[in-house]
């Protein structure tokens, strides 16, 4: 029997009653229809980098989407490049492909594990870039109607680590299963403007500058590796779901309860293709990592002192970054959840802010 721990980067999760690895769109649709026609619960998984399944596993069909391929589409009237990518395509390999073809935009999203089909679901982002900026449309299978449905960029209602695809998901089971993603890119050797100060410093440029996309990828991979955010079988800090909590977006009034030096960032409203929306004057984004650390949770929390009692040292905050919860060796899903609950409660006690988990949690509550 296939274990979900074998399919997820955190390497936790119980058995899958029925496991199907679908390498083609036809296989994906056939498996969905089999599940829905028999009333069998369905869990959809791609790279397993943003999912945590309970130790009880999943009593139903686990559909592992493994379709692969990148196809050129007719060039749009505005120029550039237009490509269609199968949902199971490895995201980081696609980023490398984009750089080789001078497609501008994804370089700052290098090193993010998972599949292309998962990126629009949570509007994947890093270092000031979000995938919504170059998604033209997403083709899905709508399980309620039994038909395919294509969403244009605006119809996906992208938000911070959010979309209509995520909001219509229940316990890891989506209404809309992503089949392909169409991207539209500008062409050029230089990256999109560098927006993130840390990345700009690493590159030796000012925010807003453009640099060679290959160099952006190189520096982003270095930064992510230094934080345990690039998968490495030799590094236990990478046995995680990456950032466990999203950066909270709060009303301006919430700042009254925070120290003046607490980092805060502008919030932008949804923007269109290639664009970023206007700034939201009523909300700010806080740093979840800063909140966690200043609530008393240091790197490696769970490995030493009284905190070992929470998960027996089997799970802890990363020793490189306070935002990741890692499987140190032999952790159960409940061990991961126990660390998450302790951190979440501590931040709420300290600052009155409740952190929201970023990964999809199946058959459990945090």
Residues recognised as catalytic: 161, 243, 358
Tokens of 40: 């069998």
| CA 10 vs CA 22, 247, 286, 339: distances in Å | 22, 21, 26, 14
Strand segments, DSSP code E, in the chain are 16-22, 42-45, 51-53, 58-65, 70-72, 81-86, 103-104, 125-126, 129-130, 135-142, 147-152, 169-170, 173-174, 176-187, 249-251, 264-268, 279-286, 315-317, 325-327, 360-362
Q: Which class for 79: exposed (0-12), middle (13-18), buried (19 or more C-beta within 10 A)?
A: exposed
CB 219 within 8 A of CB 199: yes
* DSSP one-letter string for 223-259: HHHHTT-S--TT-GGGSS-SB-BPPPEEEGGGGGGS-
What are 186's two structure tokens?
Answer: 């500008």
Going 359 to 270 to 69 to 142, the CA torsion angle's sign is positive
Is the CA virtual torsion 293, 298, 300, 301 positive or negative? Answer: negative
Instruction: Select from 123, 127, 89, 122 the least CA-distant residue to 109.
Output: 127
Q: CA dist 4 to 43, 185, 330, Å? A: 11, 35, 14
C-alpha span between 46 and 115 (Å, rounded): 6
DSSP 73: -
Which helix (H) or strand (E) segment is 94 a member of? Answer: helix 91-100
């Amino acid at each position: 029997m296939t274990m979900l721990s074998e399919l997820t980067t955190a390497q936790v999760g119980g058995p899958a009653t029925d496991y199907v690895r679908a390498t083609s769109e036809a296989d994906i649709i056939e498996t969905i229809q089999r599940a829905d026609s028999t009333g069998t619960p369905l869990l959809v998984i791609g790279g397993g980098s943003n999912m945590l399944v309970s130790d009880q596993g999943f009593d139903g069909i686990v559909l592992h989407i493994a379709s692969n391929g990148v196809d050129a589409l007719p060039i749009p009237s505005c120029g550039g490049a237009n490509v269609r990518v199968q949902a199971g395509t490895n995201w980081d390999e696609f980023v490398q492909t984009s750089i080789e073809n001078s497609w501008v935009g994804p370089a700052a999203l290098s090193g993010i594990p998972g599949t292309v089909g998962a990126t629009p679901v949570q509007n994947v982002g890093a270092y000031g870039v979000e995938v919504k900026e170059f998604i033209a449309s997403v083709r899905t299978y709508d399980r309620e109607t039994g038909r395919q449905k294509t969403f244009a960029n605006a119809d996906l209602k992208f938000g911070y680590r959010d979309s209509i695809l995520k909001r219509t998901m229940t316990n890891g089971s989506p209404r809309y299963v992503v089949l392909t993603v169409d991207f539209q890119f500008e062409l050029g050797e230089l990256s999109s403007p560098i927006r993130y100060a840390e990345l700009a410093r690493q590159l030796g440029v000012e925010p807003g500058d453009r640099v060679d996309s290959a160099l952006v990828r190189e520096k982003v991979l270095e930064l992510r590796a230094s934080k345990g955010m690039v998968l490495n079988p030799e590094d236990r800090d990478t046995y995680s779901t990456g950032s466990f909590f999203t950066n909270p977006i709060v009303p301006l009034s919430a700042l009254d309860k925070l120290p003046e030096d607490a980092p805060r960032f502008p919030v932008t409203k949804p923007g269109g293709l290639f664009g970023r929306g206007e700034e939201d004057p009523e909300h700010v984004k806080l740093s979840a990592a800063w909140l966690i650390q200043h609530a008393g949770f240091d790197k490696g929390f769970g490995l030493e002192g009284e905190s070992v009692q929470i998960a027996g040292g089997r799970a802890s905050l990363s020793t490189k970054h306070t935002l990741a919860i890692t499987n140190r060796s032999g952790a159960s899903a409940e061990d991961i959840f126990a660390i998450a609950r302790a951190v979440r409660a501590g931040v709420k006690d300290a600052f009155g802010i409740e952190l929201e988990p970023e990964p999809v949690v199946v058959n459990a509550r945090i």
